[in-house]
Amino acid sequence: MTTRLLVVTAVAAERDAVAAGLGSADRGPARSRRFDIVAAGVGPAAAAAASATALTLAETAGDPYTLVISAGIAGGFAPEAPVGAVAVAETITAADLGVRTPDGFTTVAELGFGTAEHRPPAGLSRTVADRLGAAYGPVLTVSTVTGTAERAAELRTRHPGAVAEAMEGFGVAEAAAAHGVPVLEIRTVSNAVGPRDRAAWRIGEALAALTTAFGKLPAALEVEAEHG
């Protein structure tokens, strides 16, 4: 079975890291995988727009995608996802889509205005996490990156088991859901979620981990296809 894969990153460096991994894997046995990689821009709106455009163009051409992946580097919640780790989303959650009052935060879903969460296929996401040796749990999408210990603690309280925070996954998932295509989110950790300390960031290490993860991904997809 051929998988037609769309990978959506935010920036060119992430796109190139993913391409290097998939390119190395393509020289191996998993040749039934076809992929396109898009650098969509930063944030959920840009990610949703680019993903929807790519999905629509593929459908119009009669060659639709069968899987969409939001990918890139991210902040990790320690100790589950330390710097350099891989994280795979059990759920893709819009962590700051809603309303804040003196009583706390209420999600858009709790307000009755839509959804704040997408759930990748459980068997697929779990298999991919296992094959990549990844932390597995909610990956949070935010429009404002966490830069304080207080907000990091609040997010952990509201989203127990969260492994990472990024800015595009929910936008990609919204577009995928609108087109009826399954979605995954795969992140590698460049920094800890919490107080902003750029000196502690390890972007190069996270990009290298992204290449390694995507080098392993085709084999993980083969395993799921054989046992799904």
41, 52, 56, 110 from 175: Cα distances, Å: 15, 5, 10, 21
Interior/surface letters 174-209, b for 16+ CB within 10 angstroms, e for the rest: bbbeebebbbbbbbbbbbbbbeeeeeebbeeebbbb
Q: pLDDT band for position 143 (50/70/90)? A: very high
Query: What is the number of domains present in the chain?
Result: 1
CATH code for position 188? 3.40.50.1580
Instruction: List pLDDT tens digits, range 46-71.
Output: 999 999 999 999 999 999 999 999 99
pLDDT of residue 27: 47
Could you tell me if 115 and 92 are in contact, meaning their C-beta atoms sit under 8 angstroms apart?
no
Instruction: List pLDDT tens digits, range 147-194.
Output: 999 999 999 999 999 999 999 999 999 999 999 999 999 999 999 999
* Whether this model's pTM surpasses 0.75: yes
pLDDT above 70 for 225? no
Q: Which domain holds residue 62?
A: 3-227
Average pLDDT for the chain: 92
pLDDT of residue 30: 42
Q: CA nearest 12: which of 55, 63, 50, 57?
A: 50
Specify the amino acid at residue 155: L
Contacts of 204 (CB under 8 A, 6+ apart): none
85, 99, 121, 158, 162 from 151: Cα distances, Å: 22, 15, 29, 10, 13
Q: ω into residue 102 within 30 of 0, thus cis?
A: no
pLDDT mean over 106-124: 92
